């Protein structure tokens, strides 16, 4: 069972070795923001983390710090950039 199915309503997320390509759509469904990746290789980075009702800013900052990325905001769009993963 995917524990993130109700994440859009509960804002509780658990990711275990999940590629960002699968993480980003789950987050975007729960918050009224878009997330852009400046490099295709960022999609390959895998995330293991649990978030319990934290703001999207805090969540993306933690993801960026964990994966050695940087995050910037332009209105309702968050931009992740960095080298990514092979």
Region 53-58: mean pLDDT is 92
Question: With pLDDT > 90 as the criterion, what percentage of the chain qualifies?
Answer: 73
Using DSSP's 3-state secondary structure scheme, residue 58 falls into helix
**Cα distances (angstroms) measured from residue 72 to each of 10, 12, 21, 65:** 25, 23, 18, 13
Task: Please calculate the CA angle 55-79-62 and round it to the nearest 5 degrees.
Answer: 40
Region 28-36: mean pLDDT is 93
DSSP state of 37: E
Residue 26 has pLDDT above 60, yes or no: yes
Region 57-84: mean pLDDT is 94
Residue-level pLDDT at 6: 65
Could you tell me the pTM of the whole model? 0.86
For residues 27 and 56, give the distance between their C-alpha atoms in angstroms, rounded to a whole number: 8
């Amino acid at each position: 069972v995917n524990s993130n199915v109700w994440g859009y309503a509960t804002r509780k997320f658990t990711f275990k070795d999940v590629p960002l390509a699968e993480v980003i759509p789950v987050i975007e469904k729960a918050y009224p923001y878009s997330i852009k990746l400046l490099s295709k290789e960022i999609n390959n980075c895998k995330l293991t983390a649990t978030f319990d009702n934290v703001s999207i800013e805090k969540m993306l900052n933690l993801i960026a710090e964990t994966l050695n990325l940087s995050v910037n905001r332009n209105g309702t769009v968050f931009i992740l950039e960095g080298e990514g993963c092979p």
